[in-house]
Amino acid sequence: MNNTKLAILANIEAKPQHAADVEALLSGAIELANQEAGTTSWYAFKLSETRFGIFDTFANEEGRQAHLNGDIAKALLGKADEWLSQAPDLFMADVLAAKLG
């Protein structure tokens, strides 16, 4: 049974000189995502040399809030002033349909 109900889409714009740092942080963050019991799925992606994103899903609001207050957010936001050209754009979404696995 698929209980994926909520999602977050984060758009991230890196400063050109720190694009590799952002890419490395996101690539390595899968280990942290795997430790989050409330995260149903987690994807980090690259759209251009400086534009990245994260898409993750959750069964409930508690899981989503735990993720927003978790180690991935802390790691990224801890470097935001240095590595990002602007604060990440976060979009909260309801999942209408999902195919997992």
Q: Considering the chain, what is the average pLDDT of its residues?
A: 94
Structural fold of domain 6-94: Alpha-Beta Plaits (3.30.70)
Residues 5-53 pLDDT 10s: 999 999 999 999 999 999 999 999 999 999 999 999 999 999 999 999 9
Indicate whether 69 pLDDT > 60. Answer: yes
Non-local CB neighbours of 52 within 8 Å, separated by 6+ positions: 12, 13, 14, 22, 23, 26, 44, 45, 46
User: Which residues are registered as beta bridge partners of 52?
Assistant: 12, 46
Please state the domain extents for the chain: 6-94
